[in-house]
Homo-oligomer: A and B are copies of this chain.
Amino acid sequence: MTHCAIMARIVVMPRWDPRAEDRLRDAALELFLEQGYDSVTVAQITERAGLTRRTFSRYFTDKRDVLFAGSERLPPALAEAVISADDALSPFEALMTALADTGELLAGSVTRSAERRAVIKASPELQERERTKFAAVTDALARALQQRGSAEAAATLLARIGAAVFQTAFECWADQPDAGFSAFVRDAAAELATSLTTVTVPAAPGQA
């Protein structure tokens, strides 16, 4: 049976798929850092990973996608957190709680996030894709808020506000990873509340 163990080890490494996706992602990130995103070809990535172009397409829809694997877990996680938040909380409170809790979990699991962010920051094309991924967050939040009972329009607006808060908090947290993520969510929410409370109610035209 010894050769079975050997077989198993061989299967893990070579071109036969097991770690194919991971290897592609690693190879891609390395190359993007070395040469810049634009000048890297898919062929280079697959070559470094010891795979073929065709295999790349099996795992990723396009070149951009290789940097965003795993990001599809964030929207459902946030939605779940919103839905399962205490019923006594207002929609906005439920939203903020969900952001703080979920971000806390997720923030730690981002692999190589610093390098990844550097690559994205240098490429407009990747920023575009990042916005798309983030739009899924907004959509998921909107659906979750509706499920909690918010009307569609209100849910959409609140979801966008939530996305804004999350993004802002995430950026702050990226600069100071030691502070808890949820603290930054609270900061952003507080900041927002302050900005709004200084508002005089917009008067209708003609009204004094």
Contacts and interface: CB of A to CB of B under 8 A. Distances in A.
Interface of A: 90-93, 96, 124, 127-129, 131-132, 135, 153-154, 156-158, 160-161, 163-165, 167-168, 171-172, 186, 188-193, 195-196, 198-202, 204
Contacts of A191: 153-154, 157
A25 B191 CA distance: 43
Contact of A90 (B132, B157, B160, B199): B199
A190 B157 CA distance: 11
Contacts of A132: 124, 127-128, 131
A90 B158 contact: no
A195 B158 contact: yes
Nearest to A161: B164
A192 B202 CA distance: 12
Contacts of A189: 199, 202
Contacts of A129: 128
Between A129, A135, A172, A202, the greatest number of chain B beta carbons within 10 A of the residue's beta carbon is seen for A202
Contacts of A200: 93
6 contacts: A90-B199, A92-B198, A127-B132, A131-B132, A157-B165, A193-B201
